[in-house]
Amino acid sequence: MELYNFTIEDARAAIKKGEISPVELSEAVFKRIEAVDSRVHAFITLNKQAALKAAKEISPDTRHGLPGIPVAIKDNICTEGLKTTCASRMLEDFIPPYESTVTKKLKEQGCVLIGKTNLDEFAMGSSTENSAFGHTKNPWDLARVPGGSSGGSAAAVAADMCIAALGSDTGGSIRQPASFSGVVGLKPTYGRVSRYGLVAFASSLDQIGPITKNVKDAAILLNAISGHDLCDSTSANLAVPDFTSVLGRDIKGMKLGIPNEYFREGMDREVEQSVTQAIRHLESLGAIPIEISLPHTGYAVAAYYILATSEASSNLARYDGVKYGLRVEGKDLLDMYMNTREAGFGAEVKRRIILGTYALSSGYYDAYYRKAQQVRTLIKQDFEKAFEKVDVIVTPTAPTPAFKAGEKTDDPLQMYLADIFTISVNLAGVPGISLPCGFTSANLPVGLQMIGKHFDEETILKAAYAYEQSTDWHMKKPDFKEVESKK
C-alpha cells in the first residue's frame, strides 16, 4: 500500500509507532497531487512549503490526536496567511488575517493543511463547474462532475490526494459530492461545528463537515472539529461525545425509516436498485425497515432556493470593493460598486443574488420569504414526527450518479434538483451522512444517505459503520488508467 492510500486511522497508528514520519506522509501526498491533479483539478492553492515545515515540527511521540495527518480544506474556509478565494474573482488574492475555528482545531491536533480545494463559487452549485478557476473532474470518469459545491474536497479524497478533507454543506454540498465521488461525507447537526471563519453563503443553513475515505475517519475528524465556540453565536453549547465509541456496536432492532417521498418516478434505476439492496442488507444485519412519510418534501427545493438566495443576497452585499477583495474603479461610488460586483461575481452567484434580493423586496417578502420560512418549519416538524417512530432515516443521497460536465449548466432548475434528497436535512438542521452503497454499470459510485435526530450523529455513524464494514464498496478506488481511456 502506498502511503497516500492510508486512512486517518492507518496513518495515525503508523506515525505513533514510528513506522513512518509525518514528513514522509506529506511528501507522499504531494507526489500524488503532482501525478494526478493536473487531470482532476481538485486544488486551487497548495500549501507545500508551510505543510512540510509543519510536518517536520511534529514529533513521533506527540500527544496530538492527529499527528501529521495531511488534510485538504475547502477554499471557503479561512486559513490565516493562506489564500482563501471561494473560487471567485472577487477574492482571488484575499489572504485572511485570522484562522477559522475548525482549521485552528485541526492544527492543534497536529494536522498538516496541505492546500485549499476547488468549489462552486461561494459554494453555490452542485457540480464544481461554477468555479472561476476551472472545474474539477470526477476521478471515476474525467468527463463527469464530482458533485458540488465541495467537489474539490471529494475528488481529492477519492483520488488519494489527501488523507481527509473538510467541506461545507448548505443544501447537500458535502453529501452529494461524496455520493458522486464514492467517499464518505458527513453534514453535522447545525450548531455542532463552529462556522467561525467559514465564508457565509446562507448562514442559517451552512455547516462544516468531514469528507473521508471511510466512516471511522469521519467520526475521528468530527471529534476533532466539534464543540462550542464563543466566536460563533449559533454554535451549540453541548458536550461532545466520542463519536468513535459507538462504532462496531450491533444495530439489531434499530428502526430505519424509509420515506415514500424519496423513492419516486424519475430516479435513476441503478441508483434505486443499489439503495434498495443496501436497505435489504441493513435488514439482514438486524435493522427493521419501517415505511414513513415526510409529506412536505415536495416543497423543500422551492423553500430552500428562496431562503438560501435571500441569505446570500444579504451576506454577499459586503463585497463592494471598499474593504477587501476586488475593486474596479468607476466615475463615482455607485459606479465603483457596480463595476466591482459585475467583474467579481460569476453568473450563478449573480443569479442567486438577484433571486434573493427579489424575494426580500418590498411587497414580496411575505409572499416568498415568510412563506418559505413557514414551509421550513413544517419540514422540520416532519422529521420530528418521523423520529418518534424510527432511529434513522435511510434514503438515496442523490437521484442520479455523477452526470457529464456541461450536461446541466444551461438548465439551472435541473442542476438545483440534483440536491433534492439533501436539501431537507439542512432546512431541518439535522445531521446526515452519505456513504458508498454500490456502482452503476458505467462504474459510477452510488451514495446511501442516513439522516439522524438533532445532535445524534452517533446513531447514524453506528448504522453507517455497520453497513460499511459488512460490504466492500468503500474499498474500491478509481483506476486512473481506466479513467484516461474514457477520455
Active site residue 74: yes
In a domain, 368, yes or no: no
H-helix or E-strand containing 291? strand 288-292
For 117, list phi and psi in degrees, rounded to 5: -95, 155
In a domain, 347, yes or no: no
- The structural domain count of the chain equals 1
Intra-chain end-to-end CA distance of the chain, in Å: 27
pLDDT level of residue 418 (50, 70, 90 thresholds): confident
Residue with cell 454577499: 316
H-helix or E-strand containing 383? helix 371-386
In a domain, 374, yes or no: no
Q: What is the pLDDT of residues 259-295, one digit of tens each?
A: 999 998 889 999 999 999 999 999 999 999 999 999 9
For residue 127, whether the previous peptide bond is cis, meaning omega lies within 30 degrees of 0, is: no
In a domain, 428, yes or no: no
Query: One of 21, 26, 74, 187 is an active-site residue; which one?
Result: 74
The C-alpha atoms of residue 304 and residue 426 are separated, in whole angstroms, by: 9
In a domain, 161, yes or no: yes
Active site residue 131: no
CATH of the domain at 60: 3.90.1300.10
The strand pairing partners of 168, in sequence order, are 208
The cell numbers describing 120, all together, are: 462552486
In a domain, 219, yes or no: yes
Query: pTM above 0.95?
Result: yes
In a domain, 186, yes or no: yes
The cell numbers describing 296, all together, are: 412536505
In a domain, 343, yes or no: no
Active site residue 149: yes
Residue of 238, 213, 214, 216 whose CA lies nearest to 228? 238
Query: One of 149, 153, 310, 313 is an active-site residue; which one?
Result: 149
* Own/partner pairs, 63-67, CB within 8 angstroms, 24+ separation: 64/108, 64/109, 64/110, 65/12, 65/109, 65/110, 65/223, 65/224, 66/8, 66/12, 66/106, 66/109, 66/110, 66/111, 66/220, 66/224, 67/12, 67/15, 67/16, 67/22, 67/110
Q: What is the pLDDT of residues 200-235, one digit of tens each?
A: 999 999 999 999 999 999 999 999 999 999 999 999
Residue span of the structural domain in which 184 resides:
3-253+473-485
pLDDT, position 414: 86
Which class for 89: exposed (0-12), middle (13-18), buried (19 or more C-beta within 10 A)? middle
The C-alpha atoms of residue 97 and residue 92 are separated, in whole angstroms, by: 15
Q: What is the pLDDT of residues 370-380, one digit of tens each?
A: 999 999 999 99
Query: One of 100, 173, 181, 434 is an active-site residue; which one?
Result: 173
